[in-house]
Structure 1
Amino acid sequence: MEIRLHKPADAGALADQVWPLYQEVFGDFESYESWRIDLYDRHAARDGYRLVTAVDEPVMSSTDSAVGSGSAMVGFAWGYIGRRGQFWSDLVCDSLPSATTEEWVGGHFELVELAVLPAYRGQGVGRAVHDKVLEGVTGRSLLGTNDDLQDPAVRLYLSARWRKLGVLRPGVQVMGRLPA
């Protein structure tokens, strides 16, 4: 398994590989084009954008002709520096107490997406992309996720020093993490 942090300039070239995995895990966009315009490219243009991918490279036999044939993206995470005036940051400010948002919102690293193909879950891929996307982040970090303590993603975040800051809406919490 190769876990790699990409340069922001490489995001566009990787979109065709990220999209199928995004769609399988989340399935919340009708088309590749709307996903690119409304989410992916917009996020990739933000300050501090970081994209991490996990690629499974099967062991090659001596009869395989091409090194890396059959490799596939199996996980990713991305985030950027969140600012007031952005949709999600403002939503957090409208939903959480002002004392919390004054401390946490604005200039924070926003972990926006983390996805792992179902067949690769429970094998450390989520932890690996999580840790790599946050590697070197020196300030506060925020994310939004469901509030089910049995959800594997929530368990991952809790084990990685994230804590609940408040409720965004019923069933969805905002979590924060201080730098190590």
Structure 2
Amino acid sequence: MASHFRDAVLDVWSEVFGRVDAPDEWAISPWDRHRARPGYRLALAHADDRLVGFAWGYTGARGQYWPELISRELSAAADGWVGGHFEFVELAVRPGARGEGVGRRLHDALLSDLDHSRALLATTSDPQDPAVRLYSSRGWLSLGTYGDGRQVMGLVLPH
């Protein structure tokens, strides 16, 4: 079902993150690779029958690249967070649709009614970045940084 939305999601992705030179490769990774993960979810936002934003995530597990990376990089700060968490992977809103609550609604839709007790994501460590402001306003906490200033944030999910 989610593959039906691939081209529209790629269009938003290209506008937000930069043009994708190899759409067929993008369709394999990250699109198909992430959709194949357990617990995959896709949230979409439309305005006037046009996709204006998306968010996706899945269940993160030990042995996967990113959970293992942050476990090594954050050590004790990641204890109790990694493995069985919901991994909030992508959130993108077209520039023309920003400032209208689309990101907040996508965030909330993606996380609604999850069976997970916690969620993790990576973002910039710049507190003025709109994404960081959104996540902080929704209760996400910084667990630490790794690499070139990437921040890992965690959220305790309601049951």
The TM-score range, normalised by the shorter chain, is: over 0.9
Q: Given the two structures, how large is their TM-score scaled by the length of structure 2?
A: 0.95
Given the alignment, which residue of 23, 40, 59 partners 1:81?
Answer: 59
Return the alpha-carbon distance in structure 2 between the equivalents of residues 50 and 166 of structure 1. 26
Given the alignment, which residue of 95, 99, 103 partners 2:80? Answer: 103
- The residue type equivalent to 1:128 in the other structure is R
User: 1:94-131 CA deviation, whole Å, 9 max, x = no partner?
Assistant: 2102x232310000000000000001111100000000
Partners of 2:23 and 2:82 in 1: CA distance: 30
2:102 corresponding residue in structure 1: 125
Provide, for residues 7-54 of structure 1, a one-character-per-residue CA deviation record: whole Å limited to 9, x for no partner. xxx111110111010111112742111111120100001000000000
- Look up the match of 2:71: 93
Alignment partner of 1:56 is 2:47 = yes
* Distance in 1 of aligned mates of 2:20 and 2:34: 15
Tell me the residue number matched to 1:15.
6
Q: Could you tell which deviates more after superposition, 29-38 or 18-27?
A: 29-38
Q: 1:38 aligns with which of 25, 29, 35?
A: 29
- Structure 2 match to 1:139: 117
SS, match of residue 106 in structure 1: coil
Aligned letter for 1:43?
H
Mapped to 1, the partners of 2:21 and 2:60 lie a distance apart of: 26
TM-score by length of 1: 0.84
Q: Which stretches in structure 2 are left out of the alignment for 5+ residues?
A: none
Amino acid of the structure 2 residue aligned with 1:134: L
Question: Structure 2 vs 1, CA of residues 86 and 153 (structure 1 numbering), >3 Å: closer, same or farther?
Answer: same
**Distance in 1 between the 2:64 and 2:10 partners?**
23
Q: Which runs of 5+ in 1 are unaligned?
A: 1-9, 58-70
Larger Rg: 1
